[in-house]
Structure 1
Amino acid sequence: MILPADAQRALDSFGHCTGWEQRARLLMQWGQRLPELSEADKTETHRVHGCESQVWLVGERVDGHWQFAASSDARLIRGLVALLLVRVNGLSTEQLQQVDLPEWFNQLGLSRQLSPSRSNGLNAVLLRMRELAG
C-alpha cells in the first residue's frame, strides 16, 4: 500500500533518530503540530472509549477520502495520535480497513515504547475511525 505523503515524511524523520530520546522529542513535536479541536468537538459523542487518556475524534469523508482530526489531554498520546492521523488521512474506506497499526508504529521505531494500555488506546482510535467510515 502506498503511504500518504505526510506518513512518508514521518517515516523519514523517525528513520533519522538514533535512540529513544530523539524519538520521544520528535513524537512530542508531532503532537504539538496536531491542530486543536474546538471545544464543541470535545464532547462525549466524539470521545474514544478504551483509552486511559481522553481522546476525541471527528472524521468526515471528502471526495471519497477520509479526513480525521483528533485531540488528547496527554502529550505522548497526542504525538501517537498525530502519527496515526498522518497514516490514515486521505485514505478510502477500503484502505482504512487495511491499515496495520502495529506495523506502522514498528516502521517508525516506536513499537517497543507502546505499553499495552497505549496500544489498546490507539487500537480503540483506529476502531472508532473504522466505525465512522463503516
Structure 2
Amino acid sequence: MATKAFEDIADTFDFLDDWEDRYRHVIELGRAMPPMDDALKVPATKVDGCASQVWIMPVIQNGSFDFQGDSDAMIVRGLIAILHALYSGVPVQQINGIDAPVELARLGLDEHLSSQRSNGLRAMVERIRLLAADAS
C-alpha cells in the first residue's frame, strides 16, 4: 500500500491529461524538495547506475525510513521527490514489501522516461531497498 503522499501524487497525475503537464509536475516536485547539504554529496551517498549525479542519504528515526536526496538534473530531483513520497515514513521492515515498479507504473513513468532515466530510477529504488535492509 502506498503512502498518502504518494497517493496524492497519483491523484494529481490522474487529473493531468497531458504527459508534458505531468513532466512539468515532476520538475515542480523536485524544485519543492529541500536541498541536500553539499557535505552529504560524497561517494558513499552517490547512486551508481544513474546518468545524472544522484545522492541518497538515509535517515532512520524510530524505526521509520526517510531519506535526503538530490541530483544535478531537475527531472531526476522530481523522481527523487516521488520516491520520497513513496517511501518516507514507512517502517524499515516494510520498505522491501513496496512494489515500486507497480506503484510507479500507476504514474505512467515507465512509458515516458528514457531508458537511461528508467535505469537510474531502478538504481535509486534498489539503493533505497538496500539502505532499508541494512537499517533493519
* TM surpasses 0.5: yes
> Structure 2, unaligned stretches of length 5 or more?
none
Do residues 7 (structure 1) and 3 (structure 2) align? Answer: no
Question: Alignment partner of 2:68: what SS?
Answer: strand
Q: Matches of 2:114 and 2:91 in 1, distance apart? A: 29
Q: How does 1:52-71 map to 2 (within 5 A)?
A: 52-71=51-70
The answer as to 2:41 corresponding to 1:42 is: yes
How much has 1:116 moved relative to structure 2? Answer: 2.0
SS at match of 1:56: strand
- Taking only aligned residues, the RMSD between alpha carbons, in angstroms, comes to 1.2
Question: Share of identical aligned residues, percent?
Answer: 35
Paired residue total = 133
Q: Distance in 2 between matches of 1:101 and 1:6?
A: 14
The answer on 1:29 being equivalent to 2:28 is yes
**1:54 shift after superposition:** 0.3
Structure 2 Cα separation of the partners of residues 101 and 115 of structure 1: 18
8 Å contact kept, 2:29–2:78:
yes
Q: Deviations over 1:72-119 (max 9, x none)?
A: 001111111111110011112232102222212211122211222212
* Residue 76 (structure 1) aligns with: 75
- Counterpart check, 1:124 vs 2:126: no
Report the secondary structure of 1:108's partner residue: coil
What secondary structure is seen at the aligned counterpart in 1 of 2:78? Answer: helix
Aligned to 2:92: 93
* Helix, strand or coil at the partner of 1:48: coil
Instruction: For residues 37-82 of structure 1, give each alpha carbon's deviation from its aligned partner in whole angstroms, at most 9, with x where no partner exists.
Output: 0011111111111111000000121111101110000111111111
Conserved 8 A contact 2:36-2:68: yes
SS of 2:57 mapped into structure 1: strand
Matched residue type, 2:112: Q
Q: Aligned partner of 2:44: which letter?
A: T
Rounded Cα–Cα distance in structure 2 between residues aligned with 1:130 and 1:26: 25
The 1-side partners of 2:122 and 2:12 are apart by 23
| Partners of 2:37 and 2:45 in 1: CA distance | 11
| 4+ aligned runs moved over 4 Å, structure 1 | none
